[in-house]
Amino acid sequence: MKIRIPLTPDPVWPDVIKITIEENQEPLVPVSLAPAPLQVYPAYYKMGIPNSVPECHVRTGVYQRLLQAAQALPAGISLLLLDSWRPYAVQQYLYDTLYDALETRLPNKTATELEQMTREFVSLPSTRVDAPSPHLTGGSVDVTLVDRHGLMLDMGTQFDEASVWSHTHAYEEIAAPDARETEVINNRRLLYSVMTLAGFTNLPSEWWHFDFGNQLWAWYSGAERAVYGATQLDSLENRWRREVEKYSVD
């Protein structure tokens, strides 16, 4: 079933970050081991973004819902995960890069205006316990669809394209879509449908961005609280330290 994409308001960030987080301690898990039709392509690592990681990690609850969404797709179509949990340094790089590009192109804009424009596509970098950036929680995912040949379906814009046409609802506003626009509408509706039916919410300014468990998900789903705060990948050093701490001391 393809759901017509509704016109949804942008998040009111001062209110979003007021939502209580009751961390449930779900670990981050790698998605590259997932069975088809769920595939992984760590886009930022492939692009050479500094400090990006060569794997896509999500919370276990997100992993289960990604599988559910992928399995709901028609035969021959796969769900492709492009980005999920990301280090703070990557969040800062993305924010600064877009902000600088806008500042160069629009020198008459104020700092406040530039920040607002930047936050349309990149969340403010934050490791605050009560207000982490969504992607730092392991609850945000950037996804698209690919065909049986591994080619991405036409979604109207590229992933991470800073354009008004990247807004999830944008193509729904076209009164008489042509053949290509109709294809885009159907592709976006398919992605939106399987993701929302699996329990995700969508960020209205990005057709590719979906959330579960974090403050942004709580804001759009009406949940009383979020269950994912900022998290980190577990390191071998940390695991060894925990094991060593269990040793008895003579």
Q: List b or e across 146-165, with b for residues whose CB sees 16 or more CB atoms inside 10 angstroms.
A: beeeeeebebbbebbebeee
What is the per-residue pLDDT for 238?
A: 78
Q: Which amino acid makes up residue 50?
A: P
DSSP β-bridge partners for residue 21:
226
142 is in an annotated binding site: yes
- Residue 1: predicted pLDDT: 67
Q: Residues 6 or more apart from 162 whose CB is under 8 A from it?
A: 98, 120, 121
**Is 135 labeled as ligand-binding?**
yes
Q: Report pLDDT for 234.
A: 86
Q: Which residues of the chain have pLDDT under 70?
A: 1, 248-250
Asked if 150 contacts 121 with a C-beta cutoff of 8 angstroms, the reply is: no
pLDDT of 137 reads 98
**The domain 13-245: what is its CATH number?**
3.30.1380.10
Per-residue pLDDT at 125: 95
Q: What is the pLDDT of residue 91?
A: 96
pTM: 0.94
Tell me the C-alpha distance between 127 and 130, whole Å: 8
Give domain limits for the chain. Answer: 13-245
Active site residues: 206
* Residue 211 β-bridge partners: 140, 201
